[in-house]
Amino acid sequence: MFERLFALCLILPLFACTQLQDRPSALHAPAADLYDASAPDLGLSPLPGAKTITVFRPGPGTDQFSNGAVPISFKGRVFVQWQSSARDEDAPDTWVAYSVSDDNGDQWSAPRPLTTPSDDEEIRSSGGWWTDGETLIAFINVWPEGFHKRTGGYTAYRLSHDGETWSEPRPVLGADGMPVNGVIEQDPHLYDGRLHTAFHVRPGIRARPFYTDDPLGLTGWQAGAFENLPSDPPMSRELEPSLFQRGDCLVMVFRDQASSFRQLASESCDRGESWSRPQLTAMPDARTKQSAGNLPGGTAFLVHAPKGDKLRIPLVLSLSEDGHVFDRAFLLRGADDLQPLRTEGLYKRPGYHYPKSWVAGDFLFIAYTANKEDVELTRIPLSALEAR
């Protein structure tokens, strides 16, 4: 979603970057032999029982750009939301699409609109989903001045009780009753009765953890105490986070825009009210959005591209029983699985981009885009993970 902004790379104070890189954090790390950087697809094997399904494939007369795919399960159906445009990322014709499956993801409806392209410079992009089981919330990130001015935006929502008809958009509200002055990250998590995510807040785009006790996530959002690392404005060094639970604490993992090609992480042990200073971890990362969470038994997981460069291949599922050491990993999609790039477009490139996940019923659902063109879903039986 932020590729236009990422092209204007942050330049950090050298001492800050060096200091972090010299002392990797112990918040979480891979086992020493988990990834083999010299082997194809990091030496990982596919997970038996996993199935990959195409949600949307571009064709003649359709949009050729897709990104920011996010899954959710609601009233027995699976939904995937993404942002779509004719050719280029973050283009003025961007709109938010979604598709629905009635059979756990095997077959998908044609894309439906949650927004339409704007008539002015305002752009709307995918903000993800939430549900309490009775109401489905579609979050929409609104950029009043578009992406290119790097001025940030706010979050709107539409709600539905059937996944078919939707309310008019309204702003997501903070604890002060005013609209939250930031765009939401796409995968809220419910832990201990409290909803957690991050917003990229103004001025600019600065990642910050938030929480609310509103079960629908529409009101009451409160920023946790959090110190961003040094960076050049208008963007924070920490971007596009996700999180998992470890005991009584939460661990939020970030993309590092300073190009360390490792994840940053911060920890909260007071239900999101305060967070440790972000630290560089030993977990490799291709400088991309990732997804994290917990399986029903508590196992922490990461869906990510654990590479030491910008190539977002392969897409990997990594697991940790204790939330500290990730010692199991499986290949979700590898280099040989990737179709050729169909059409050129701004910021389109080979790879598996911006995964997000949802655990429901007997499955872990993972949505992402291939080459920022095809919207795809990998469905994993939870039983396959428990047996390994």
Query: What would the pLDDT profile of 358-378 be if each residue is shown by its tens digit?
Result: 999 999 999 999 999 999 999
CA distance 176 to 226: 19
pLDDT at 1: 54
| CATH no. of 3-386 | 2.120.10.10
Peptide bond connecting 233 to the previous residue in cis, omega within 30 degrees of 0 = no
CB-based contact 311:287 (threshold 8 Å): no
Beta-sheet strand order (sheet of 249-256): 238-246, 249-256, 262-268, 279-284
pLDDT at 291: 99
CA distance 339 to 345: 16
CA distance 71 to 80: 4
CA distance 339 to 378: 16
The residues that bridge with 196 in the sheet, in sequence order, are: 189, 211
CA angle 285/288/293 to nearest 5° reads 80
pLDDT at 13: 37
Closest CA to 199 of 257, 115, 247, 142: 142
pLDDT tens readout for residues 224-264: 999 999 999 899 999 999 999 999 999 999 999 999 999 99
Distances (CA, A) of 307 to 84, 230, 231, 284, 348: 27, 24, 23, 5, 19
pLDDT at 6: 43
User: Rg (Cα) of the chain, in Å, rounded?
Assistant: 19
pLDDT tens readout for residues 148-165: 778 999 999 999 999 999
Low-confidence ranges of the chain (pLDDT < 70): 1-25, 387-388
Percent of the chain with pLDDT over 70: 93
pLDDT at 188: 98
